[in-house]
Amino acid sequence: MISVSQTFINKLNELGYKSLTPIQKIGIPIILKGKNTIVIAPTGFGKTETAIFPVFYKILSSNAEKISAIYITPLRALNRDLEDRLSRIGSALGIKIAIRHGDSTERQRKRILEDPPDLLLTTPETLLYLLVNQKMRELLGNIRWIIIDELQEMLDEKRGYELLLAIQRLKRLSKYEIQLIGLSATIGDIELAKRFIGRNVEVAEYNTRKDVKIELVIPTVSKDLAELSYKTGLHPDTLARIRELEKLIKENKPVLVFTNVRESTEFLASELSKLSQLKVRTHHGSLSREIRLEAEKEFKTGNLDALIATSSLELGIDVGTINAVIQYTSPKQVIRLVQRIGRSGHSINKVSSGFLLPSHDIFDILECKSIIDNLKEGYLEKPIVEPKPYDVMAHEIAGLVLEGITDKKEIFNLIKSSFQYNDLTEEEFEETLSILESARIIRKNKDKISPAGRLWRYYYSTNMIPDSIKDYIVIDHISNTKIGTLDYEFVATLDENTVFILGGKIWRVVSIEENRIYVENAQLKSGVLPSWFGESIPVEREISIKVYDYIERIERGDQIDLPKEILEKISSLLEEQKRRGYPVPTKSKILVEINNDLIVLHAGLGSRGNNTLGALLSLLLTQVKGVRTTYRSDPYHIAIASLVPVSKEEFTKAIKILNSLSSSEFEDLLKRAIKESPQYKWKLLIEAERFGLIDKQKTDITFSQTLLKAYTDTLVGEEAVKELMYKNYDVTLREFLTRLTWECIEVPGFSPLAKEFLNKLFVAAHSDEKGVMIEIFRRKLLNNKVKIICMVCGWNNIYYAAEVPDRCTKCGSIFLTVTDEDDKESVEIIKKVIKGSKISKNEKKKFEILQNISSMFSTYKKYVAIGLSARGVGINNIGKVLNKLSDGEDRFFESLLEEERKFLRTRKYWQ
């Protein structure tokens, strides 16, 4: 710290800052020169101090007026952490820190105005409110430094876009040239980040990444889990992961466990509490602030073994020592994994330790490996920026009018000063003003703009945070039982008679009323694919391509760093694919399987790419066939369903049309497809709120669905399409598709690889007796032990039901009978009969039963043993159950499950 006063250094030494970290040595000199700066370094390397030390020094050395610095964080919880940390440094140096966010009390807000701090901690949303407060604006005129924490989080979100415009407003207010400093552990696009921060930006990066140890953990399913799965109702694979999770927590506690959705968070906490002695709690955005704070405190003080969280703990909230991070199922993105794993070993000399625990699905396993390998290669997902978002501009116009700016040209120029609005036209600006005027937010008068009646309410009630307005309770109207909850975003895509998946079952909407959805069990019909409520984190094309690269390499027999049993599982699947005459899809070839009215595409285009291709082909097929088609996709597959069969020629025609489109035609077709998507309706509603056309508090789905059509052909509808296009679709796909080849085949049944996808897609199409429960029940019965007795020679032995021999291992007879493993009486009866000894009346009755069983065994073999091992199945009903084998094995197990259910329901009456 050359040229920094010794007194300042001594104070820092007293606080324990004896030496600078590598990033501080790089970043502090740049910031001291007054340069706009981006600081990039792993978690725990002292990025905050890299910005704070030079800013605090400059505040003291220049005797800066208050408020001279603003520190902006995306989460209020980060503000709480930073306040403690910065106040400790500030009080030692004589620098006052204050915090201002949505939870601040009236007293705290007044104190800031009466006794201003040197540095104010706040969030992007609160900053917008401060800018329209007259007294606060006077203080903001003294701003010299703006620090933006977690910069990566701001680059591709509308709240970040609005922060950019808010900073332009601050620059207009300040008497000084403001220096901007951005902090981030990871940045996917440094050039974009530089444009965000401003002109003449220097990057301070410590690019020798902190040691990261990431292990891919794939649990095996042991036999003992079959019985436990039957008792708990959980799939053995799920139980195996929970067991492995328990083991990892015990070995590494305290541990932070990340999931991708809050339902998984609550599920894991519940199951771990039931199946283990571990002390665990949950942390996600749906919990109240008090509950989250309590969980953070318990973890920090060492009272918890694990804290299970969603992205709510992804950023730098201080929860104390974290020995390891466990990611439950794929994190979907490299940048998310880096952020999450970086929470462990939270200091410069410690290794960040993490475990990835994928699901049993082979694509989830390969996706986890792809993410780890991409991380090793230095890949990070790039933020996707939407150009000139009109809704953000509308809200900022309202803010500028509240500040007292009435000149239309001045407002237009200020908005255009942000790089995102460089090509904003006067026509677009004027149309936005007209929408705001129609909503009674502003009034236009030639070159002037003035406030209207709804201005204050609109500005204060609107923000750009993507949130769900409210949850809906889903009720089975037949049994009048609650099934679960859905958020507004998903519900807005539903209509009456829509089918969707919830809780592993398929439901049809009967009616939507207030905060309730009434449904009934449904079966899928031809041409209809179910909607499902799940993860919204997109997997990028680079991850998916590598997954298909692994598939190619495994097929060739190349060595891949995966557990032997997983490689064997995938190899076996690919061998079966080829044995049955199906091609193996590759990273450069899209394989299309056409089976009458259902089509499956194997394509490694990522979440947004496959969503785009599915939307376009579905629309083109609708045009070609003249009947409606629907589609669903994941990062590796697309399923398209038609009401009538589709031929190979018709599908090939759709592909040719797609490949012949120019860039502008491709984009126009995509916009049409987006407008026909169920998500468009929801996004249109959100945009109507953001433009102030609908009051957020008065939003009602049934009301909005009819009213919103009026906004489709306005700037509101255009913004809804634009946001979806950049968030959920891939506008760069057309160029990439030109590098790929296609192979279309008509199939009598889908390939093993296609079934892997379809089984996930249609898991909910099963009724109670089908699907996962059947598999659990089957495994349980196969692992039951039975006694096998030969009716001819009396030989007997105990076997698992799945492993009983077809013939007597002693005499070769096919007449074997089945009984309980502890049944000694039956052995003695059969031996008496063989010897010709006299037997009692009861023994004769039992022998006849054993004889009948042996007669069935000669025909049905092991299935007799499997059937009789089920509770509630005996000589009176085993024949009926065995007859179901003519309809297939699944039907046999369904029938056994129903007999066992009957037994469990009725035994209380006769026990």
Assigned fold of 388-459: Arc Repressor Mutant, subunit A (1.10.10)
Lowest mean pLDDT among 91-105, 383-397, 426-440, 890-904: 890-904
pLDDT in tens, 253-273: 888 888 887 777 888 888 888
Burial (CB < 10 A; 0-12, 13-18, 19+), residue 404, is exposed
Whole-angstrom distance, CA of residue 306 vs CA of residue 322: 9
Phi, psi (rounded to 5 degrees) for 224: -65, -15
Contact 220, 565 (CB under 8 A): yes
Phi-psi region at 329: left, alpha or beta (left = phi > 0; alpha = psi -120 to 50): left
pLDDT class for 293, splitting at 50, 70, 90? confident
Whole-angstrom distance, CA of residue 321 vs CA of residue 317: 12
Segment (H or E) for 171: helix 158-173
Lowest mean pLDDT among 42-56, 491-505, 706-720, 811-825: 491-505
Chain-centroid distance, C-alpha 820: 48
What are the boundaries of each domain within the chain? Answer: 2-203, 210-375, 388-459, 469-519, 539-760, 767-907
Whole-angstrom distance, CA of residue 529 vs CA of residue 629: 9
The answer on pLDDT for 641 being more than 80 is yes
Phi, psi (rounded to 5 degrees) for 445: -145, 90
Contact 822, 882 (CB under 8 A): no
User: Of the candidates 768, 251, 265, 705, which has an alpha carbon nearest to the alpha carbon of residue 483?
Assistant: 768
Contacts of 335 (CB under 8 A, 6+ apart): 152, 186, 188, 380, 381
**End-to-end Cα separation, the chain, in angstroms:** 84
Chain-centroid distance, C-alpha 791: 59
Tell me, what DSSP letter sits at residue 360? Answer: S
3-class SS of residue 450: strand
User: Of the candidates 151, 546, 567, which has an alpha carbon nearest to the alpha carbon of residue 369?
Assistant: 546
Residue at token pair 């005459």: 581
Burial (CB < 10 A; 0-12, 13-18, 19+), residue 382, is middle
Residue at token pair 């929801």: 682
Looking at domain 2-203, which of 3.40.50.300, 3.20.20.70, 3.30.565.10, 3.40.50.2300 is its CATH number? 3.40.50.300
Residue at token pair 């007859």: 883
Class of domain 210-375: alpha beta
The answer on pLDDT for 908 being more than 50 is no
Residue at token pair 């996709």: 633
Whole-angstrom distance, CA of residue 198 vs CA of residue 891: 66
Contact 850, 791 (CB under 8 A): yes
**Are the folds of 2-203 and 210-375 the same?**
yes
* C-alpha R_g of the chain: 33
pLDDT class for 317, splitting at 50, 70, 90? low
The answer on pLDDT for 301 being more than 70 is yes
Q: pTM value? A: 0.77
The answer on pLDDT for 353 being more than 90 is no
Residue at token pair 């900073």: 167
pLDDT in tens, 821-833: 989 999 999 999 9
Two structure tokens written together for 404: 């007292």
Whole-angstrom distance, CA of residue 436 vs CA of residue 424: 17
User: Of the candidates 303, 239, 296, which has an alpha carbon nearest to the alpha carbon of residue 268?
Assistant: 239
Average pLDDT over residues 282-300: 76
pLDDT in tens, 722-770: 999 999 999 899 999 999 999 999 998 899 999 888 877 765 343 333 4
% of the chain with per-residue pLDDT over 70: 86
Lowest mean pLDDT among 179-183, 353-357, 492-496: 492-496
Contact 37, 113 (CB under 8 A): no
Average pLDDT over residues 446-452: 93
